[in-house]
């Protein structure tokens, strides 16, 4: 049986050329172009996807290293008719201008809310122990791997803060 990667619930064979990054696999081999290529060096976060529940830069890993893994991309989070809570919040808060970074921002934020829920500390956390108090500072630090060249950060933080607060209430 060929090695496969499951993307948004569907298994796909891994290409023969080992140079294919997970990002290029998603975009060019299986046609899921929601995930974006910005810098291709792990600096901008536009390529962020969720692999086995954990957010990573899909540009800095090889498809060949992900046999049997389960990947969630922006296409797997929601649809235009049924957006995820974060997708809806980004629309409501105008959390983008050109939109190129947005799929990476939303994939990143989706996994980040799970990390907050698990009380993983960040560099901005006062204490390494206990519940993490959600704040703009925490969100900015935890989202520092996602750049927005339009500078929509204020609205991105507002969108994430709303969903994070909803999840806690």
Among 32, 34, 35, 45, binds other proteins (CB under 8 A): 45
64 binds other proteins (CB under 8 A): yes
15 binds other proteins (CB under 8 A): no
38 binds other proteins (CB under 8 A): no
126 binds other proteins (CB under 8 A): no
62 binds other proteins (CB under 8 A): yes
The Cα–Cα gap between 109 and 27 comes to 21
Cβ at position 107, least distance to other proteins in Å? 10
Cβ at position 9, least distance to other proteins in Å? 22
Contact residues toward other proteins (CB under 8 A) are 18-19, 21, 40-42, 45, 48, 54-57, 60-62, 64-65, 108, 112, 115, 118, 120-123, 125, 128-129, 140-142, 144-145
């Amino acid at each position: 049986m060929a090695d496969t990667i499951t993307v948004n619930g569907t298994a796909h064979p891994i290409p023969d050329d080992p140079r294919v990054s997970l990002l290029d696999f998603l975009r060019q081999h299986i046609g899921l172009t929601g995930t974006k290529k910005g810098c291709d060096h792990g600096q901008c976060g536009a390529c962020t996807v969720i692999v086995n529940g954990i957010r990573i830069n899909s540009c800095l890993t090889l498809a060949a290293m992900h046999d049997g893994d389960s990947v969630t991309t922006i296409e797997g989070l929601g649809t235009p008719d049924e957006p995820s809570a974060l997708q809806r919040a980004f629309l409501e808060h105008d959390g983008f201008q050109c939109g190129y970074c947005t799929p990476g921002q939303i994939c990143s934020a989706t996994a980040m809310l799970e990390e907050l829920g698990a009380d993983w500390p960040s560099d901005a956390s006062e204490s390494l122990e206990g519940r993490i108090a959600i704040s703009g500072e925490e969100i900015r630090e935890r989202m520092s791997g996602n750049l927005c060249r339009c500078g929509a950060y204020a609205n991105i933080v507002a969108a994430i803060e709303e969903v994070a607060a909803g999840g806690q209430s």
